[in-house]
Chains A and B, each alone.
Chain A
Amino acid sequence: MTTGRPLALLAVLYAAVCSGTAVADEPDLFVSTAVSLKEPLLAAIEDFRGIPAGHRSPMIRIHMGGSVVLAQQILRGAPSDLFLSASPHEIERLADAGLVDSGSTCALAGNTLVVVVPIGGQRLDALQHLADPRFERVGVANPRTAPLGRYTQQIVAAANLQERLENRLILAEHARQVIDYVARGEVDAAIVYTTDAQRFADRVSVALEIDPDLHEPIEYRAALVGAEPPRFRAKALFEFLCSDAGRARFVESGLKPWPGTR
């Protein structure tokens, strides 16, 4: 009897916890998104929730990270109904694996890059100045985990800075971690998305806009994931994000309209 009571309590607790989740009649919807799309995606999902669904809508679970890592997780079978990538290449990888139908992807928006420094940090007028020894540590995204890292790699190569920067690069896992390093003052300069720089304007200052011709165009794409016919609600969310109203949310957040969507 002495052991029976805590067990009974546990059973009651378990039942209480489970009943909370068991009422939803549709399983959760999983959205994997490039971390730099966080705010506009949340805003678009708010709009989407406002659209009457006709039945109980599933919970929408958002998983953020570097797009390369997210694509890898989806390849390994991570639950994902929608994938929003900071580059079309990751979506192509999923399409090659048969996880994405090339007909169910759309371009959401574009972006540009800037060099940022901590508030009150060193100024610079040209990309070449990053090679100055006064920039002891330069924050960049890891090309192995985030498309931002690939774009940065292209810029560094185009500006012929590889050798001079090599030992000073501090690699971060994704776009938000790069800008966090600048905001904390741990790096003296960093290459980040323009939209992230705007969002952290109280903690970093833009030192230089980067010529978009130095890297491949930055294109955010959304894709429906899953080989079987997509779930009704996932398809509805995908179609909303790709609609003019949905894409407007991304442009409002500072992203560039992407020419020739769909």
Chain B
Amino acid sequence: MAWHALKLSFSVGMMATVIVVLSGTAFGWLLARSRFRGRELLDALLMLPLVLPPTVTGYYLIVLLGRRGLLGGPLHEMTGWSIPFSWTACVIAASVVALPLMVRAARSAFESIDARQLLAAASLGHGTGSIFLRIALPLARRGLATGAVLSFARAIGEFGATLLLAGNIAGRTQTLPLAIYEAFQMGDDRAALTLSIVLTVVSLIAMGLIARLGNRR
């Protein structure tokens, strides 16, 4: 059971980090470099999971993605696929909650780039895509790596939104934090302590690895 929870937490954390790094970098770039209608609103929406209690985020997610939810309902009708209580649900909950951290980090990394460098690149014939990939991304590398580390840490520790959207099913959707919660509730302090130490060690190792990647030239 503990082994499954560890594997699940790790796979969910990794998948969520990939999703969050890709989408969070895109949103960060958009917010840092573009002016458009509804920009403030988009910013507020993306930041919302950071300020809301995770249980509230989880509640919104189940209202939205449940079998009878606003999006989940039609999805279930058409494909027979339902999101709650699945691995996908764990990933969605972890991603939504971790996304603000990545957006924040990416945005400030992109904003701190000297605009003249980008202008110079444009004057030398680089298109927008090329500027983003060859100039902005390398310059923002450290900020993005920090965002990724924070996102992974947040995703692997996700509890509230996961409990509501994915339930707490041992062997299926029970991630490490949920396994710790259940062990504690059952008075199984040894299991709770062991799992807590495992989660702490895994988090430390992962952060060390990602941080090192970010520093490499």
Q: Which residues of A contact B (CB under 8 A)?
A: 68-69, 72, 75-76, 137, 142, 144-145, 169-173, 184-186
Contact = CB atoms under 8 A, between A and B. Distances in A.
Given A170-B85, A170-B169, A75 B66 contact: no
Contacts of A72: 185-187
Contacts, number: 38
A173 B164 CA distance: 12
A145 B67 CA distance: 26
11 contacts: A72-B187, A76-B187, A137-B85, A142-B168, A169-B169, A170-B169, A171-B169, A172-B167, A184-B68, A186-B82, A186-B84
Given A75-B187, A171-B169, A173-B168, A186 B182 contact: no
Contacts of B68: 184-185
Given A184-B62, A185-B67, 10 more contacts: A69-B185, A137-B82, A144-B182, A145-B186, A170-B85, A172-B167, A173-B168, A184-B67, A185-B66, A186-B84
Contacts of B167: 170-172
A69 B68 CA distance: 30
A184 B187 contact: no
A186 B185 contact: no
A145 to B, nearest CB: 7
B170 interface: yes
Residue from B66, B67, B68 whose CB has the most chain A CB atoms within 10 Å? B67
Interface size class of B (residues with CB under 8 A): 10 to 19
Interface of B: 62, 66-68, 82, 84-85, 167-170, 182, 185-187
Given A144-B182, A186-B66, A186-B82, A171 B168 contact: yes
A185 B187 CA distance: 32
Nearest to B189: A76
A171 B84 CA distance: 12
B5 to A, nearest CB: 14
A72 B82 CA distance: 34
B170 A171 contact: yes
A169 B172 CA distance: 10
A81 to B, nearest CB: 21
A226 B148 CA distance: 51
A142 to B, nearest CB: 8
Contacts of B82: 137, 186
B169 to A, nearest CB: 5
Given A144-B186, A172-B167, A184 B66 contact: yes
Contacts of A142: 168
Contacts of A186: 66-67, 82, 84-85
Contacts of A76: 187
A185 B85 CA distance: 13
Contacts of B170: 171
A173 B163 CA distance: 11
Nearest to A137: B85
Contacts of A137: 82, 85
A76 B184 CA distance: 11
Residue from A145, A171, A172 whose CB has the most chain B CB atoms within 10 Å? A171
